[in-house]
Structure 1
């Protein structure tokens, strides 16, 4: 046996091809070193390392061989009957090449490993002696999946690239529709449409089939359905790109979602219209800056609250909403026009679908020297692999492997007005920021920068009929609508043959809405987003509770907050005020996007827990009762105002109540 082992040189690295996984480079090196000792126990230990220390889930590799001076015999005799060599898959070939490189490691590596083994010889010998006690299941299926790693992190479905006034920001995003990933819901809906128009794997549907189906189903296709009749030839000419009179998958998606100009389930748009101007040109900053020198001195700061109420509070309710603050600003009437909302990297964009990495690399090159945003480093700096102070297209594409500063999860629930937004920060960002979570919004607040994430959902607007409309159509007031009562335009919107569930030739109120409610609009599975600086970052920073409304309490606190920003010259320039980024998501009919993405006060229509007397006294509905609003002796007010801030908060009046 020893003679045989002395003559044979077992290629352990080659033997390892059949067993080791991608993470076993070191074990292969150790096994190779052990075999150099030409001893039985070393070879046994090498085999032990290969069998017990590696992941066997890798697919089969080429059959390993034993090499002797006289013969080269295939170990896997089950394939010896084949007279022609089998092709090696590319992945197996790459793995084989990688393992060969490991086995050919330089002698210095081998010596360092050998030295380490000398210090642990007693331990390894004990392991060899106890070989029969090892729980090694050689009959296990090598293709069975490994158990999930509880510490592993999942990659976000989408990555958002967002340049800001402070520097670039990388954000991860997941979107769920009724707990189903957005991409799956989108593909599933398109599959249902294909099936409905008769598409098969062998045969694509005709354009006539598609247009007829869309025109007859307004509940699913919304306004798209109403713009088909009479325009068939024009639509086919425009969207039948290959002119074969049949609808392929890309043509179907482009046609169905043409109103949004988004040929997929998600798209993020950006604009630079508010960058920098959202502070220096803020009407609020201008109102405080009495001498208009573009910086606030101590005296101007002390008088800031009075200046805001005098110059901005147009309805004299001691509060300022966003509409009031916008009246004095020169708005860009088309801030989101195409040339300011491109996909070249200088404004926010998602990194899914087609990305022109050359364009993006050019934009990234100009951001190398920017500071970090909500993280320890500028992510662009880590892309410059060769340290040439420029970003190539290949380096730009490697951004897909960088951890985002934070990740967002947006959940839409169909049939209910439920939206939830969750944010997870990286460890580095968590140490310098706080998260303020709401139902449909979330704020990430840092010392020099803050991010607001909001969502809007209008998924079923076209899939319900109001009772008032039903009553108007029900001319004979018998509780049902027959075909004669339906005007021509309504026949397209409410097709009798599709909505008449019981087949009695009439449509009841419940029948219409139940049938329409079961139809998922295509716009339920497409989400659009916008990301840009807040139109007025000064307003956003004064708005402590982030409800897009400056309460009397917040206005009064402005001088104190501004004093914390004084520089060495004793002034506060506009650029010293922290900037605010808004990331907004919404779904629904595209024609509602302008309203969907407006900056409006958060919904305050919920139940007010305060006693009725406090609600009545709160004339401006800002959530507090001020001294001027309080009806009663000032002594009583001060007794209730336990923190002596001149406002009665909800907590104070509830405590007294």
Structure 2
């Protein structure tokens, strides 16, 4: 099967213009939700999402990040930034690119002093710095959107292969035989039916969250992928009502003047998305409204890897000996862009202590880098691929009928493709996702080692012990060892 690696795909995040309008400042440390409106039904539904990293709200992490950013550039320690100090601040674009780079690169323009000095008193306070960045869209969960290109073809291939009696329908009996019937497509013999095995040359997912989702703005022209997305991101400023105008234009059933009052009502659902690098931590979140369904999960991210790589490379540049000869660069010459930013003592050179202080600041910036990858256009294949690894496992195929019933696709006892819900996939990750697969590293070490295809089960073929031991461990006698069964065997030993 062919799978698409997402690490090489950067988000096409356009930098917002700096906004000088006054914005509400959230209480320090408070978990500030990201709010969406789900469209498409007779009633709108609001979704509130709060993200946490190791139990700390992302909004609180950014509170700390902005405080440390201020302290780093307040070179004279007087509690405010002057024009010279403020000129070295990173741009919003730089803060966003830190998600993939592992550091804030020298790109984009820093906010002007006038934009930072929001009350016009000639100095910039920590609160003004944070407010300016937040008004420009920094300091929160970032949302990237894409559209799955092969969902229709994958669904058609599935139904064609499962309709073994050729009557144009897939009965409950045929769905029950799916795991056995589709084995013939397993060309790489990994006991999974990948997207590329159903549809030759299909790359899965074939899309990434490369378009930034931002709250609607006046006279903004949205790319096609956002114009068709049944989600609207709400602004943090309750006085900003461009979102209401956007919804009213897209759906004439709603009036822009009435929507701000609707926003004050309770949300349709509230999610708390818990991210962590600790193995065995899984988190799923979902919501259904009529024929629309949002399926979310936590995927493993690359932010720590990017941070470690950047630190190693930048330290190596500083430690590299100076070149000799005419025109040769001096020691640390490749870091000439960084010297004025990180030169804490103002002597015109960058030493290791100063570099370490700047790298510590980059680690703080990395802590709050959380990305939601939203993929529109999901269909039958994505509904059945419950761990979102781009392949259908024996357990997923065996449970297909129940999954379809739960999604409302079996009215009157017969599968109806027209009853399939409109599904949005939402993967939360720390930085760019390694893959879009559910981060579900569970079970004892031996179990994870034997699960060679990574589907969350150990089959008879994967099990390296005696057959009678497998039979003993397989408590439900379904021919697969689950993480729960493996954990029970470990407990029995104690």
| Both proteins in one fold, TM over 0.5 | yes
Secondary structure of the residue aligned to 1:301 is helix
CA distance in 1, matches of 2:475, 2:141: 50
- Give deviations 1:274-316, integer Å, cap 9, x for gaps: 59956984654454356998742456435422343333x3421
Structure 2 residue aligned with 1:74: none
- Judge conservation of contact 2:271–2:285 (CA < 8 Å) in 1: no
Structure 1 residue aligned with 2:233: 349
CA distance in 1, matches of 2:310, 2:210: 33
| Cα distance, 1:318 vs structure 2 | 0.4
The structure 1 residue matched to 2:178, chosen from 297, 304, 309, is 304
The structure 1 residue matched to 2:189, chosen from 302, 305, 316, is 316
2:419 maps to 1:576: yes
2:329 maps to 1:442: no
The structure 2 residue matched to 1:600, chosen from 430, 433, 437, is 437
CA distance in 2, matches of 1:579, 1:253: 41
Mapping for residues 23-38 of structure 1, pairs under 5 Å: none
Question: Relative contact order (alpha carbons < 8 A, sep ≥ 6): 1 or 2 greater?
Answer: 2
CA distance in 1, matches of 2:458, 2:208: 40
Structure 1 residues 635 and 486: CA distance shift in structure 2, 3 A: same
Aligned residues: 419
Instruction: Return the TM-score normalized by structure 1.
Output: 0.48
CA distance in 1, matches of 2:166, 2:231: 30
- Give deviations 1:409-459, integer Å, cap 9, x for gaps: 3467xxx8469xxxxxxxxxxxxxxxxxx7352234779856324366655
CA distance in 2, matches of 1:521, 1:324: 43
Structure 1 residues 166 and 290: CA distance shift in structure 2, 3 A: farther
2:256 maps to 1:393: yes
5+ residue gaps in structure 1? 1-153, 229-234, 366-389, 420-437, 477-482, 589-594
Mapping for residues 591-630 of structure 1, pairs under 5 Å: 595-596=432-433, 599-602=436-439, 604=441, 608-609=443-444, 612=446, 618-629=451-462
The structure 2 residue matched to 1:160, chosen from 20, 31, 36, is 36
- Judge conservation of contact 1:452–1:580 (CA < 8 Å) in 2: no
Mapping for residues 530-569 of structure 1, pairs under 5 Å: 530-533=373-376, 536-544=378-386, 550-558=392-400, 566-568=410-412
- Judge conservation of contact 1:343–1:349 (CA < 8 Å) in 2: no
CA RMSD, 1 decimal: 5.7
Instruction: Return the TM-score normalized by structure 2.
Output: 0.60
Structure 2 residue aligned with 1:361: 248
- Give deviations 1:572-601, integer Å, cap 9, x for gaps: 23243455433344565xxxxxx4385235
Structure 2 residue aligned with 1:432: none
Structure 2 residue aligned with 1:147: none
Structure 2 residue aligned with 1:226: 106
5+ residue gaps in structure 2? 1-29, 119-123, 212-221, 322-327
- Judge conservation of contact 1:549–1:601 (CA < 8 Å) in 2: no
CA distance in 2, matches of 1:639, 1:298: 31
Mapping for residues 9-158 of structure 1, pairs under 5 Å: 157-158=33-34
Secondary structure of the residue aligned to 1:358 is helix
Structure 1 residues 583 and 296: CA distance shift in structure 2, 3 A: same
- Judge conservation of contact 2:88–2:341 (CA < 8 Å) in 1: no
| Cα distance, 1:168 vs structure 2 | 4.3
Higher CA-based Rg: 1
Secondary structure of the residue aligned to 1:296 is coil
Structure 2 residue aligned with 1:232: none
- Give deviations 1:153-209, integer Å, cap 9, x for gaps: x996443212368974321233457877655665665566567368999x9954x75
Secondary structure of the residue aligned to 2:260 is helix
Structure 1 residues 640 and 265: CA distance shift in structure 2, 3 A: closer
